[in-house]
Structure 1
Amino acid sequence: MGITHLADVLRSETPGAIQTRPPDHYRGKILAVDASVFIWQFQSAIPTLNNRTGEDISVLQGLFNRTIYMLEKGMKPVYVFDGVPPERKRAKVSQDGSCQVRRPFRAVESPGPERQGDLKKLLRLMGVPVVQAPSEAEATCAALVKSDKAWGAVTEDMDALPFGCTRLIRNLKADKKKEIEEYNLPEILSTLKMSREQFVDLCILLGCDYTSKIKGLGEKKALKMIQKYGTIENILQTIRSEDRIPSDFCYKEARRLFLEPEVADVTALDLEWKKVEEGQVLQFLSGEKFMNKERVQQALQKLHPVKTSRKRKAKSGASGSSAENQKKINDFFTVKKSATQSKTSMGSTPTSSR
C-alpha cells in the first residue's frame, strides 16, 4: 500500500525535509520496522529458495540476513507484523460518503500463520522484539514513533506519513548503491504550510488504497487545490463535471482510517532487546530449515567484529607478516666494513668536548 506520487511531490516541493543518511546515523536508535514490506521484497525480488524438503525459505533467509545487517550496524529494530487489513479497502462509496465492504486488495500474499510463526520465532531467537498489529503494520509503526517508543519507522510505504509518522526511513538495506532516505513530517507540513488533516486530504487526492480518486487531477494540481481550498469538500464544490468524481470516491472513510487508525496499544509495550541465541539460531535455520550451515555461521560472525579483528591479528602474527616480526637483511648476513670505510675510520680524529 502507498500514496501515488507522494515521494515525487515531496522531493520537488520539500527537498529540505528529506535527508540522505549513512547507516551509522541510526546506530543505537530504536527503529519500528514494517515487516510486511520486507516480506514483500523477499517474495518478489529474491529467487525462490527451497530447502531439501521443498519448503520455500526465501523470506526466512532474507529476514535473517536483513536483521543481521541492522544489528551489525548497531540499530535496535522492533518488527511490526500486519494484522487484518481494513474492510474498507477498495470499498464502494454511496452518495452520502458511507462505504460498502468489498474484498481487500493484496498485491502479494502474506505468509500464512505457520510461516509467520517461523519468522517471529527467528526474530525472538535473535533477541529482537516483535509487535503484532491489529491492522496495518505501518499505522502501528507510526504510533510507536509518535509515542517516542521508536525513533523512526522503516518502511517503503509512504502512507506511514499520513498515519502521522514523524520520521519515515526508506531504502534501509545492505545495498550501497541506494542511499537511505529520511523524511521529516513536521518539516514537510511546515514547508507546505498545511495541517496534518490537509496533508491527509492531499494524500487521498493523490491516490491511496482506501478509495478511488478524482479523474484528471494530477499531483501538482491536487497540491495547489488543497493549498487554495483547504479541504476535499471545498474542492468538490468547484468540480462541476460529475463524471470526474467516481461513485467509489470514499474520501470520508479514507480520511478517518488515516487519522484514527486501529493500532496496537503501544503505551503498554515493554520493548526489550536480548542477546542473540546463536546456537539456537543455528539449530533452527540449519538443523530444522536446512539452510547452509556455513553461511549461517558466517552471518552470525558479523556480530563479533572485535573477535574477528583479533583473530586476524593473531593469524598475521603467527605467519610473521607484521612489521614488528619482519627481520632485516642484516639479521641474516654479517656486514663487513669496506677497506675505504676502515681507513676513514682509522684516520679520523675524535672530537673532544669542552
Structure 2
Amino acid sequence: MGIAHLADLLRDETPGAIQSQPPDHYRGKILAVDASILICQFQSAMPALSNRDGDNISVLQGLFNRTVYMLENRMKPVYVFDGIPPECKRAKVSKDGVGYVRKGPGPERHGDLKKLLRLLGVPVIQAPSEAEATCAALVEKGRAWGAVTEDMDALPFGCTRLIRNLKADKKKNIEEYNLPKILEKLKMTREQFIDLCILLGCDYTSKIKGLGEKKAIKMMQKYGTIEGILPNIIPEDRIPPDFHYREARKLFLKPNVVDVTSLNLEWKKVDEDKVLQFLSGEKHLNREKVRRALQKLHPAETPRKRKAKSKASGPSAEKQKRISDFYPAKKSANQEKSSTESSPTSSR
C-alpha cells in the first residue's frame, strides 16, 4: 500500500521538491530497483501470457523488457527482492482473515527472475525484509544514486531520491522526489515526517479515523509529534486500539536491511547467447522478439554496419578513391597544343 495520499500531498505542499526528468538524466547512474513492485505491476497490468508448458511468463517477459530498457539507456540497475515482512504488517493485512499476500510471486518463483537478471549482468540483492527499505539504505549510504519504486514509504525509510514512473513509456514523465527538499519545504525533521506518514496511513498500523492529509499536516506542524496530537483528537474513539504508532515509527527509523556498505556491486557483460537460450529455449518466449530486444543494447553494431565495417577494413577493401577519379580534369586547348608540340613524334 505504501503511504496513503502522500504523493498528492507532496505535489501540493512541496513545489520544487518533485522534478520531471528524461531518461538521459539517469545515464551512468546506479539505481536501486524495488523488484517486488515491478513484479506486482507486471502481474496486474500485463495480460496473462502462458508458454507451451502452461507457465505464466508475463512477469519474466516484463522484467526482461524493463531491464533492457534501463541498460539501453546506460542506467546501472541493482535489483532488490522482498524478504519476510514485519509481523505487524502481516497482522494488519490478515486481520480480515484472508492472510498476508506477498507483493508478486513468492521466493519459490523468484529463481527464474534472478537467473535472468544475472544473465543480463545485473546485480541482485535479497533483502531480509522490505525491499524498499534496503533500496533506501543503498541510496542513503551512497551505494546508489536513487531508488526506483512506486512505494512512497521509501521516503520515510530515508531514501533521499525516490524515482517513480521509470518505464519505457514516453507519455509518462519520470518523477524524482528529493527528500531533503521535501523536509525543507514542510519545515519538518525526518522523525516528524515519519509521524506524518503514519498519520496518513501506512502498512504497519491502523490510522486515526477522520484525519485527512490536510488536517494531518497542519496538526503535525502545530504539535510536532503524534504524542502531541493525540490529546487534541476529539472524540477519543477516533483513535483505534491497534494504532501502534511507536512500533511503526521504529520500523521506519531502524528497518531490517542488508549491510549495504559491505556489498560488492558489479555489472557484467550481457551473456546474450545464454539469455536467448534461457528465455527462448527453456521458457519458450518468442525467439525473434528476444533477439530484437537484445540488439538494442548495441545499436551501433547492427548486421548492416558490421558488414560495412568489415568490408572497409578487410584485406579486399578497395583503395580509397580521389575526387579526380570521379571527375577527371579536361585539358584546355592551350594545354593540348603544348603537349602536341613537345611530343617527339610531332612534325616540325
TM interval, short-chain normalised: 0.7 to 0.9
Pick from 179, 196, 214: which aligns with 1:220?
214
Q: Displacement, 1:310?
A: 5.7
> In 2 relative to 1, CA 241–90 (structure 1 residues): closer, same or farther, beyond 3 Å?
farther
Asked if the contact 1:48–1:58 (Cα under 8 Å) also holds between the matched residues in 2, the reply is: yes
Asked if the contact 2:39–2:103 (Cα under 8 Å) also holds between the matched residues in 1, the reply is: no
Aligned counterpart, 2:321 = none
Aligned counterpart, 1:134 = 128
Report SS of the residue matched to 1:213.
coil
- Alpha-carbon displacement from aligned partner over 1:64-84 (angstroms, at most 9, x marks no partner): 000000000000000000000
Q: Displacement, 1:308?
A: 2.7
Q: Displacement, 1:239?
A: 1.5
Aligned counterpart, 1:304 = 298
Asked if the contact 1:91–1:248 (Cα under 8 Å) also holds between the matched residues in 2, the reply is: no
User: Is 1:21 paired with 2:21?
Assistant: yes
Which of structure 1's runs of 4+ aligned residues deviate more than 4 A? 312-315
Q: Displacement, 1:90?
A: 5.8
**Which residue identity lines up with residue 282 of structure 1 in the other structure?**
L
Report SS of the residue matched to 1:88.
helix
Pick from 229, 233, 239: which aligns with 1:235?
229
Aligned counterpart, 1:58 = 58
Asked if the contact 2:37–2:104 (Cα under 8 Å) also holds between the matched residues in 1, the reply is: no
Aligned counterpart, 1:249 = 243
Asked if the contact 1:142–1:163 (Cα under 8 Å) also holds between the matched residues in 2, the reply is: yes
**Which residue identity lines up with residue 278 of structure 1 in the other structure?**
E
The runs of 5 or more residues in structure 2 that have no matched partner are 312-326, 328-348
Pick from 141, 155, 169: which aligns with 1:175?
169
Q: 2: CA distance between counterparts of 1:172 and 1:80?
A: 16
Q: 2: CA distance between counterparts of 1:175 and 1:163?
A: 28
Matches within 5 A, 1:282-293: 282-293=276-287
Q: Displacement, 1:114?
A: 3.4
> In 2 relative to 1, CA 33–104 (structure 1 residues): closer, same or farther, beyond 3 Å?
farther
Aligned counterpart, 1:343 = none
Q: 2: CA distance between counterparts of 1:12 and 1:109?
A: 29
Aligned counterpart, 2:33 = 33
Aligned counterpart, 1:88 = 88
> In 2 relative to 1, CA 197–309 (structure 1 residues): closer, same or farther, beyond 3 Å?
farther
Q: Displacement, 1:247?
A: 1.1
Aligned-pair identity (%): 77
- CA RMSD of the aligned region, Å? 2.3
Q: Displacement, 1:209?
A: 1.1
Aligned counterpart, 1:2 = 2
- Alpha-carbon displacement from aligned partner over 1:87-109 (angstroms, at most 9, x marks no partner): 111647xxxxxxx9x98643x65
Q: 2: CA distance between counterparts of 1:216 and 1:109?
A: 28
Q: 1: CA distance between counterparts of 2:285 and 2:191?
A: 48
**Which residue identity lines up with residue 17 of structure 1 in the other structure?**
A
Matches within 5 A, 1:201-216: 201-216=195-210
Asked if the contact 1:4–1:207 (Cα under 8 Å) also holds between the matched residues in 2, the reply is: yes
Report SS of the residue matched to 1:237.
helix
TM, length-normalised to structure 2: 0.85
Aligned counterpart, 1:70 = 70
**Which residue identity lines up with residue 234 of structure 2 in the other structure?**
R
**Which residue identity lines up with residue 252 of structure 1 in the other structure?**
R
Aligned counterpart, 1:192 = 186
Q: Displacement, 1:113?
A: 3.0
Asked if the contact 2:43–2:104 (Cα under 8 Å) also holds between the matched residues in 1, the reply is: no
Asked if the contact 1:91–1:211 (Cα under 8 Å) also holds between the matched residues in 2, the reply is: no
Q: How many residues align?
A: 311
Aligned counterpart, 2:344 = none
- Alpha-carbon displacement from aligned partner over 1:103-135 (angstroms, at most 9, x marks no partner): 8643x6531333200000000000000000000
Asked if the contact 1:82–1:137 (Cα under 8 Å) also holds between the matched residues in 2, the reply is: yes
Q: 2: CA distance between counterparts of 1:48 and 1:261?
A: 35
> In 2 relative to 1, CA 14–190 (structure 1 residues): closer, same or farther, beyond 3 Å?
same
The runs of 5 or more residues in structure 1 that have no matched partner are 93-99, 318-330, 332-354
TM, length-normalised to structure 1: 0.84
Q: 2: CA distance between counterparts of 1:313 and 1:225?
A: 69
Q: 1: CA distance between counterparts of 2:241 and 2:134?
A: 30
Report SS of the residue matched to 2:270.
coil
Q: 1: CA distance between counterparts of 2:231 and 2:69?
A: 51
**Which residue identity lines up with residue 117 of structure 2 in the other structure?**
L
Asked if the contact 2:36–2:82 (Cα under 8 Å) also holds between the matched residues in 1, the reply is: yes
